[in-house]
Chain A
Amino acid sequence: MDATATMLPQDVRIVAVVGCTKNAGKTTTLNALLARLCDASMNPGTMSIGIDGEEADFWLGVPKPSIEVRAGSWVATAEAALAAGTAGIEVVERVGGRTLLGDLIVGQVRTSGSVLLAGIRTKEDVRSASAAMLRLGACRILVDGAYQRIVAADPEVSDGVVVATGAILGTTVQEVAARTRQFLQRLQLHATVLAGDLDLMESARRAGRPAVRPDDASTPPCVVDLLESPEAIDVLGGGDAVVAFPGAVTDDLVNRCMASATGSLRVVALDPTRIFLSPSVASVFSRRHQLKVVRAIRLLCVTVNPFSVLGWTLPRVELLDAVQEVAGDIPVIAFDVDPHPS
């Protein structure tokens, strides 16, 4: 199977490219995917939830790879950003949002060149731009991330996720692998298979508040305002229990649950993008309790960049092996462009 088929299976229409951190290699990955899709005559559509395609990293000042788009492909960006690239782009549709760089537009590339992707900030923006590009004829949509933001990985927004990691995460292979593992663990959380958990989450979603119940599906869900309310404490303090959070799952919420829990807890989130646990809290929690999601993320592959923009290079083969070990069954592919060629 070739790399494109591995990374972009037929049933995946919208792909989020997320990075373990800033400068991990998202743009390089995006460019490689765009080129391969074009080579396969599959006109891609692309956008960024931050800003991408600028000449230099606004923070470090180091040069960045440009985003190259070919004639026939599609882009979603802010209208004023079109002037920053060399590609000839025809504005086809306005998708409703407005930013400091003007209206969000969807355009088709008429002459190949570089493009500045900017202006898409919210999940809603991603949804409307993806829908417009697919309707207009794009075969696949690539959503470029920003920093370590993973909002585009929400299964409601994208069908699959490519993770970019690389030497920027650490000065040793071991450090990069360890931090990549942490990032992947969040994205690889398993979906609950229990109908009771889904039912509990449905109650929580409808109310917009947490819902709790003993780990026994025959007990009806109890929606609570506060985790310290008498109803919540009764459940959490009464043995094994399940808690469903309809929004963000944070250190504070998890610590409050653990403070009242007498048995084992199963915390259910909507999907991995809603989970914001620090490594220390996640570690304490996982000793006795479980974290599950309603919708799991489909992880397509991990791309590895052995070059750091901060000036060091890690041994390619060792790094690939180490990342493959932490990625398990997920394919690991090297996409590297040496920023300091000799």
Chain B
Amino acid sequence: MKRDEPASRILSGVDLHKVGPYGDTLGDGLVQVSFSLPVPSGPESREAARRLAVQMGLEEPQIYKEADLGYGFSFWIIYGKCRHNVDVTRIVVPKLEAVQLSFDEINDLVAAEAGRRLRIVGACTGTDAHTVGIDAILNMKGFAGEYGLERYPAFEVFNLGSQVSNDILLQKVRDLKADAVLVSQVVTQKDVHLGNLAELVDMIEAESLRKDVLLVCGGPRISHEVALELGFDAGFGAGTTPRLVADWIAREWVRRKVLPA
């Protein structure tokens, strides 16, 4: 829900200070959870599933569906009542402006304001070999019916591929005089990739390049909030399409040129 959401879209009677799950009636707290257990379906595992739901904090848990998956596994769908609620009015989430330019508008904006192509360096860094995300954004053929950044006349794209160390990426950023850096990370356990992203930001600061480049990170578990926490300018998560990234880079580059910090 947007903070500036029109009042007409807010359900009548909803207390935005105490928003909880909705099932049949306002405030009933009904939720559905599903999970597998590594035990076969049966009376004992049914009780185990129910107790697990209680431990999750669900009141009045009802087993709606159970299935034996074979090989010693069972699957459960449980309904229950969640009594927790959140104060939506206190939630602050970093987000992009709603305006989104078209392919042509992005190219025209960069041509008019920069008078040259913006140089974009992209890589999967550290030990990460999952290039599907960065390729979807950068490769010419693009993703989800949108062209990738390589197709935009506005951009000159250097896709360094996978498992690029931070110091090699830093060298490329410096040598190519990059305007924007896109780092893709499939963030894993033990925060190893988060540390890698944070180190890159400090390295770019150490080279005194920070004010000259837009720093963008992306990946299935990345959000703008993660990005800001790590020192990046923006972070794009699952479902991001190339035009969203192109639009942000073009408009942010122009904004900084017009209104330097």
List A residues at the B interface (Cβ < 8 Å): 21-22, 49-51, 58-59, 80-81, 83-84, 96-101, 116, 118-119, 121-125, 128, 146-151, 247-248, 250-253, 273-274, 276
Contact = CB atoms under 8 A, between A and B. Distances in A.
A46 to B, nearest CB: 17
A221 to B, nearest CB: 20
B19 interface: no
Given A50-B229, A251-B165, 8 more contacts: A50-B230, A84-B90, A100-B228, A118-B94, A149-B231, A151-B201, A274-B206, A276-B199
Given A97-B261, A100-B234, A118-B228, A147 B194 contact: yes
Contacts of A80: 3, 92, 94
24 contacts: A21-B191, A59-B226, A83-B90, A100-B96, A100-B224, A101-B92, A101-B94, A116-B92, A118-B94, A119-B228, A121-B233, A123-B205, A124-B211, A125-B261, A147-B195, A148-B195, A151-B206, A247-B206, A247-B208, A250-B167, A252-B168, A253-B167, A276-B167, A276-B202
B24 interface: no
Contact of B231 (A22, A50, A247): A50
Contacts of B228: 50-51, 99-101, 118-119, 121
A124 B210 contact: yes
B231 A51 contact: no
A125 B261 CA distance: 9
Nearest to A101: B94
B255 interface: yes
B167 A251 contact: yes
Contacts of B207: 247-248
Contacts of A49: 231
B138 to A, nearest CB: 22
Interface in B173-228: 191, 194-195, 198-199, 201-203, 205-208, 210-211, 223-226, 228
B170 A248 contact: yes
Contacts of B96: 100
B99 interface: no
A51 B211 CA distance: 20
Given A22-B191, A250-B203, A276 B166 contact: yes
B158 to A, nearest CB: 18
B98 interface: no
A149 B201 contact: yes
A80 B93 CA distance: 9
Given A50-B231, A96-B261, A101-B228, A22 B199 contact: no
